[in-house]
Structure 1
Amino acid sequence: MQTIEQPIAPREDKLLDTTIHRRKTRAVKVGNVTIGGNNPVVVQSMINEDTLDIDGSVAGIRRLHEIGCEIVRVTVPSMAHARALAEIKQKLADTYQPVPLVADVHHNGMKIALEVAKHVDKVRINPGLYVFEKPKGDRTEYTETEFKEIGAKIKETLEPLVISLRDQGKAMRIGVNHGSLAERMLFTYGDTPEGMVESALEFIKICESLDFKNLIISLKASRVPVMLSAYRLMVKKMDELGMDYPLHLGVTEAGDGEYGRIKSTAGIGTLLAEGIGDTIRVSLTEAPEKEIPVCYSILQALGLRKTMVEYVACPSCGRTLFNLEEVLHKVREATKHLTGLDIAVMGCIVNGPGEMADADYGYVGRQPGFISLYRGREEIRKVPEEQGVEQLIQLIKDDGRWVDP
């Protein structure tokens, strides 16, 4: 019998697909880490120590790396800072291990960039600041000739750095910021995502003309809607131009505390859910170490990386048979060092087994004073509540999935 294809089927399949399909990008090596390709989304941060403080910088880089930061950025505002990176890199190798390093270069930084390119794995430049354009107070537009002349000057200034990175097999991040677009981009495109994208494309095309494609692109803004629009437009333009560069996601100057985390998650998480993004940095006005758990929580929530236990817990209601908040805290404290597990803590038997169906292990209120422990959907044992956490740990041990903290 001939099957007639229903027009609605593809849409239904798409709606039922729970997998995030990441945009295909080229693989770009940064030290011993690879961004893009089929590699996991990479986590980055930046130390806040003065790079001239060798010992302090080494300690800051090591602290970040030890808690899961895979690439660390440092700032290089002067030649002295650039040269200090040679010592930092060597001291890391001697006292710890090599860590992929990125140097941030701003403000007419050609000489600094050339020096620092000898010592780091990637150089980040901001197109709006790399070549200074002296503003004219009475300007109303840029002529096509002026635009091209400045573009030629940019290429002349950028070329030595591109050649150095290309010949060393190192990488560059073209990092556009909404708040620091070049004057001619502002005059031509306005303070818009389009201006951000055109700024990035100008630098990309210069690099491509020199046969250099070890590029990562970022288009950060402090306002989430601007950031989202810029990255989406960048993907559209790259697809039209046959470009496949990986993208570095971030909401710049997100602030601190709960709102800074929510703001970063709203921007980064939205794009990752659309398959956009290959490396992320959460920018908080706090110690850099505070950024890493947020990054991993975003990736874990989207199912892009599994780096910690996933806890499933009901919100509590009148049927709850124990202090849910207290028990969840105890379970978390006992098991938070594990990786790759889903553990459910459910207050009653009504919703418990169904709502926690995808969990590896379940802790469910069975009756007053007693809880049931589950492996998947199967009830394994009923134990007194005071033994619940201890018996949960024993069940995980029995299955060979426990590791000591």
Structure 2
Amino acid sequence: MQTLPNPKTATATAPEFDTTIHRRKTRPVRVGDVIIGGGYPVVVQSMINEDTLDIDGSVAGIRRLHEIGCEIVRVTVPSMAHAKALAEIKEKLAKTYKPVPLVADVHHNGMKIALEVAQHVDKVRINPGLYVFEKPKSDRLEYTQGEFDEIGDKIRETLKPLVLSLKEQNKAMRIGVNHGSLAERMLFSYGDTPQGMVESALEFLKICESLDFRNLVISMKASRVPVMLAAYRLMVKRMDELGMDYPLHLGVTEAGDGEYGRIKSTAGIATLLADGIGDTIRVSLTEAPEKEIPVCYSILQALGMRKTMVEYVACPSCGRTLFNLEDVLHKVREATKHLTGLDIAVMGCIVNGPGEMADADYGYVGKQAGYIALYRGRDEIKRVPEDQGVEELINLIKADGRWVEP
């Protein structure tokens, strides 16, 4: 007769019930004073939308992002003038605020631009599909091996000076592949597929490794979540086969705005993080860049990878609820949202309350009409009239020395 597992110990002993996220081991890559990979916390990134030629506007935009928790900020450098402007931006940041880890985006035959901007930023992002731009031929039917290799040689020739510059300065590079901008020969060889994305990245990775440069971060972004997931998973598989351990930058590109943009980004980013894949993230919204940062932290907090805000546990309400749960949760949140590192539960009744909120630091539970019970962990501390509930919850947190003024 088969012995049934003990439910009290099964979750602690059976690997299939392991609730810990085991992150893929990656090499540490330094970007300014931040380290991506190597077991360090997942890094939050965003990108300013100011014109880089606007020195004051760019400095202000970078500072706004950094002050709310963005750890690495990206800027675009479409011309040599933009690249040179970054020298002034970096200098002004240091004088008026503090140094901020900066990444420069380089596109379209950008070797000269990349070499200039590499002097002023901590990481250069290149897009393999655009770095050596191939003008498509409308009548092309195939790529010969000779044509394929000729372009590969040109890529190496144009990439080598940048790699050597970054290597000498101990700076980093992101090889950022986008599904929507694969090079023509990759499309001919592999189609518009995750495999094409992976092979595009590997071509650049191998050039960097041949020059003994490994301060590399990889991204495989797509605007469709299933494509993005497949590309990152295949990239991990191929890197594992090749003995590579580069950290990954996660993102769903062009996710849009509003609720759907947030859901779409979360679906892609959180799915991979839960599998242990990913070392830095950017949520790409068609909104002010500052709106991206709370989404990043919410994803990380929901997965237990960062603790940057209060975690609220609240039941969905039902006929047993003894007070206006939505209204009370709003009041509790408004009173405590500035705190960090706490779990606070707001439960409508005694049926599920104490059990469902067992892991919370503090609980607010409806037990009888007009009164609520306040809990510290599993222990009921006091019952108070409902109209005093939020005030007494604050007093309890203060009594424990865990309150800070807003």
Provide the residue aligned with 1:219 in structure 2. 220
Provide the residue aligned with 2:117 in structure 1. 116
Q: Which runs of structure 2 are paired with 1:83-94 in the superposition (5 Å)?
A: 83-94=84-95
Query: Is 102-111 or 142-151 further displaced after alignment?
Result: 142-151
Alignment identity in percent? 86
What's the CA shift string for 1:36-66, capped at 9, x where partnerless? Answer: 0010000000000000000000000000000
Provide the residue aligned with 1:51 in structure 2. 52
Question: TM-score, normalised on structure 1?
Answer: 0.97
- Contact preservation (8 Å) 2:53, 2:82: yes
Rounded Cα–Cα distance in structure 1 between residues aligned with 2:377 and 2:245: 41
Counterpart residue type for residue 213 of structure 1: R
Rounded Cα–Cα distance in structure 2 between residues aligned with 1:404 and 1:143: 68
Rounded Cα–Cα distance in structure 1 between residues aligned with 2:397 and 2:12: 41
Counterpart residue type for residue 207 of structure 2: I
Provide the residue aligned with 1:315 in structure 2. 316
- Contact preservation (8 Å) 2:12, 2:18: no
Q: Any unmatched runs of 5+ in structure 2? A: 1-9
Q: Which runs of structure 2 are paired with 1:201-216 in the superposition (5 Å)?
A: 201-216=202-217
Alpha-carbon distance, 1:132 to partner: 1.1
Provide the residue aligned with 1:255 in structure 2. 256
Query: Is 383-392 or 23-32 further displaced after alignment?
Result: 383-392
Describe the SS at the equivalent of 1:133: coil
What's the CA shift string for 1:351-382, capped at 9, x where partnerless? Answer: 11001011010000011111000011000111
Say whether 1:27 aligns with 2:42: no
Say whether 1:181 aligns with 2:182: yes
Alpha-carbon RMSD: 1.1
Provide the residue aligned with 1:347 in structure 2. 348
- Contact preservation (8 Å) 2:11, 2:17: no
Counterpart residue type for residue 203 of structure 1: F
Q: Which runs of structure 2 are paired with 1:147-296 in the superposition (5 Å)?
A: 147-296=148-297
What's the CA shift string for 1:12-45, capped at 9, x where partnerless? Answer: 7122100000000000000000000010000000
What's the CA shift string for 1:98-141, capped at 9, x where partnerless? Answer: 00000000000000000000000000000000001122222111
Describe the SS at the equivalent of 1:213: coil
Rounded Cα–Cα distance in structure 2 between residues aligned with 1:268 and 1:12: 28
- Contact preservation (8 Å) 2:187, 2:196: yes
What's the CA shift string for 1:237-279, capped at 9, x where partnerless? Answer: 0000000000000000000000000000000000000000000
Rounded Cα–Cα distance in structure 1 between residues aligned with 2:337 and 2:269: 24
Counterpart residue type for residue 147 of structure 1: F
Provide the residue aligned with 2:105 in structure 1. 104
**1:336–1:211 CA distance, 2 compared to 1 (3 A):** same
Query: Is 136-145 or 150-159 further displaced after alignment?
Result: 136-145
Counterpart residue type for residue 225 of structure 1: P
Provide the residue aligned with 1:4 in structure 2. none
The runs of at least 4 consecutive aligned structure 1 residues that moved more than 6 Å come to 9-12
Rounded Cα–Cα distance in structure 2 between residues aligned with 1:45 and 1:397: 36
Alpha-carbon distance, 1:161 to partner: 0.3
Rounded Cα–Cα distance in structure 2 between residues aligned with 1:133 and 1:368: 72
Alpha-carbon distance, 1:84 to partner: 0.5
Counterpart residue type for residue 283 of structure 1: S
Counterpart residue type for residue 240 of structure 1: E
Describe the SS at the equivalent of 1:239: helix
Describe the SS at the equivalent of 1:400: coil
Rounded Cα–Cα distance in structure 2 between residues aligned with 1:152 and 1:241: 22
Rounded Cα–Cα distance in structure 2 between residues aligned with 1:323 and 1:11: 37
- Contact preservation (8 Å) 2:55, 2:89: yes
What's the CA shift string for 1:203-252, capped at 9, x where partnerless? Answer: 00000010100000000000000000000000000000000000000000
- Contact preservation (8 Å) 2:285, 2:292: yes
Provide the residue aligned with 2:5 in structure 1. none
Provide the residue aligned with 1:81 in structure 2. 82
